[in-house]
Structure 1
Amino acid sequence: MSRAFRAEIRENLPLNRNHKLLTLAPLDPMSEPQPGQFYMVEVHEGFDPLLKRAFSLFRRTPQGMQLMYRLQGRGTAILGNMRPGSVINMLGPLGRGYPLPAAGETPIIIAGGIGIASVFSLIETVPARAHVIYGARTRDDLFMLNELKEISKGLSVCTDDGTDGQQANVLQMLDQVLGAHPQELADAVVYACGPRPMLRALSVMTKAKDIKAYLSLEEHMACGIGACLGCVVRAKDTGTAAEDKDRQGTYQRVCKEGPVFDADGIVWE
């Protein structure tokens, strides 16, 4: 089945002044997405802007799917002004998503800011099993809190300014959750998406605590299919990647080998 398809916009709902939730109904057959995968979306009818934009799957719906996005730059500004009934060209699902927790493993799912767009469908896939930690700068940057409370085993919220939940960061919240449930979380597995400094700190923390972790990296993507090598990250050489091996590791493509990586396999720069 071709990964290229058309979709009709059913709703383009503002969440706050900088974020919107796009509801789409596919007009052509499409492959079933996995949590953590993404789509390349064409936001023009001509050639300006030329490149598609990458958006994580937020969740599947009876109509089709939803994508959450931040208004940032010309492409998303054009998308933000599109009205219901508009038809857009899409490519996907693309990339490697989150591996589901094994029997006996308890997922801890962590979102920083717009990172909730990547992990929400994973939370829905493991309902009532996941401890969810959701952090943002301020209350206005937290979305879908009521839904998260309903589908998660426990929801811990934190903000930098203390306007919702605890005034803390997600690492401090993870420490609290692990301390509050030592037996249940003895076989925890962490899934996370958010700003790179947050993911790097989580990588260090989970390694020190011997906790398996999978991180979804956010990178600018030009093609989305691994051809342009514009979204590479350095990773440990496992012998599986073909590009640019050197003594520090190998380069892997976020759009192809990722966007979800084993935290222990990333070489942070």
Structure 2
Amino acid sequence: MKVQIASNVFLRDKYLLLEFCAPAGFAMPEPGQFLHMRIEDSFDPLLRRPLSIHDAVWQAHSKNGRKKHVVRILYEVVGKGTALLAEKRPLTQIDVLGPLGRGFDLKKIGRSRCVYIVAGGMGVAPLFFLARRLREGRKENARGPKIVVFIGARNKDHIIREKEFKDLGCEIHVATEDGSKGFKGRVTDLLKTILPPATDGAVSADGQEGAPVICACGPKAMLAAVAALAQQRGLAAQVSLEEFMGCGLGACLGCVIRTVSGYRRICHDGPVFDAEEIIWGD
């Protein structure tokens, strides 16, 4: 499907926000889903790039007031494909497949009294969409979950979207490995100091308020640490895996991960999994 870029702007350094208006037939995405983008019409680069959906909203058109379906992609320039994407100007068309994959289980998460969102590096990309959807649910239901966001990066220059999370009303905690902003150390070390103890996970008698839940996206080592911590504290965790993909449709088996039920395809069965499903030692 061809989509037309509305804007593609640098937020800082190598981080950009791309926006397009979804054409007819484009399904409304769910938090955690992704798009598979062909950057050029040629075969260089050959493979599509999987990019998380950062947000998707209905927005009033500035001229006629009609609502349009706006999709936003947050990405970092890390190689040839994303460097070429960063050069794309408004009105340029690009080819996308999607929305693809299985996103976060909003029904399970919405029953929690507190959601801990843990973003490592570019893990913020799909997690902002999740936070906004949960925030909308809380407006409709006063008993919706409290949202606590942890953002981790190498240094302060790689902390992005902090203000946007704050604008949603989320509680924010920042960790940098060099200590240039917030907690000095890994974001999982910071998470460890704030998560409730294992004894604080009981579900209320009326079933409306559940145990806290963790939702995370970032490097695999970080997600493994989140999974271990969730298990120690007796909490459920959903993790979104970052992986290179060939087809994005589950046919090529190029993005499999080992789970307790066998090998699963990240692009088709994920990218979001229950943390306890994954065999993290591989």
| TM-score normalized with structure 1 length | 0.88
* Structure-1 residue corresponding to 2:72: 66
Q: Aligned residue for 1:117?
A: 125
1:91 is matched with 97
Partner of 2:171: 154
Deviation of 1:104 after TM superposition, in Å, equals: 4.1
Counterpart of 2:81 in structure 1: which amino acid?
G
In the alignment, which residue of structure 2 is the partner of 1:9? 5
1:143-222 equivalence runs, <5 A: 143-179=160-196, 187-222=211-246
Counterpart in 2 of 1:57? 53
Q: Post-superposition shift, 1:105?
A: 3.6
Residue 75 of structure 1: CA displacement? 1.2
Tell me the SS of whatever aligns to 2:263. strand
Deviation, 1:178, is 2.0
The answer on whether the counterparts of 1:7 and 1:24 sit within 8 Å (CA) in structure 2 is yes
User: Secondary structure of the residue that 1:96 maps to in structure 2?
Assistant: coil
Between the aligned partners of 2:95 and 2:35, the Cα distance in structure 1 is 10
Structure 2 SS opposite 1:202: helix
- Give SS of 2:2's match: strand
1:41 paired residue number: 37
Other-structure match for 1:130: 147
Conserved? CA contact 1:132–1:152, under 8 Å = no
Q: Tell me if the contact between 1:6 and 1:28 (Cα under 8 Å) persists in the aligned partners.
A: no
RMSD: 1.8
Query: 2:124–2:161: 8 Å Cα contact kept in structure 1?
Result: no
1:85, CA displacement in angstroms?
1.0
Aligned to 2:271: 259
Task: Give 1:179 deviation, angstroms.
Answer: 4.6
* SS of 2:91 mapped into structure 1: coil
User: What is the CA distance between 1:26 and its match in structure 2?
Assistant: 2.2
- Distance in 2 separating the partners of 1:209 and 1:163: 29
CA contact (8 A) 1:37 1:95 kept: yes
The amino acid of 1:80's aligned partner reads A
* Shift in alpha-carbon separation, 1:49–1:28, aligned structure 2, 3 A: farther
State the secondary structure of the residue aligned to 2:253.
coil
- SS in structure 2 opposite 1:187? coil
- Listed one character per residue, the Cα deviations across residues 2-47 of structure 1 (whole Å, up to 9, x for unaligned) are xxx2211111111222221111122332001000000001111222
Question: 1:183: how far off?
Answer: 5.6
Report the equivalent of 1:242: none
Rounded Cα–Cα distance in structure 1 between residues aligned with 2:3 and 2:181: 36
CA distance in 2 between counterparts of 1:32 and 1:157 reads 31
Distance between the aligned counterparts of 1:103 and 1:265, measured in 2? 21
Deviation string 1:140-160 (CA, Å, 9 cap, x unpaired) is 111121111121431111111
- The question of 1:25 aligning with 2:21 is answered yes
Within the candidate set 248, 251, 255, 1:231 is matched to 255
Q: How far apart, CA to CA, are the structure 2 residues paired with 1:56 and 1:102?
A: 21
Cα contact 2:192–2:229 (8 A) shared by 1: no
Q: How far apart, CA to CA, are the structure 2 residues paired with 1:19 and 1:67?
A: 11
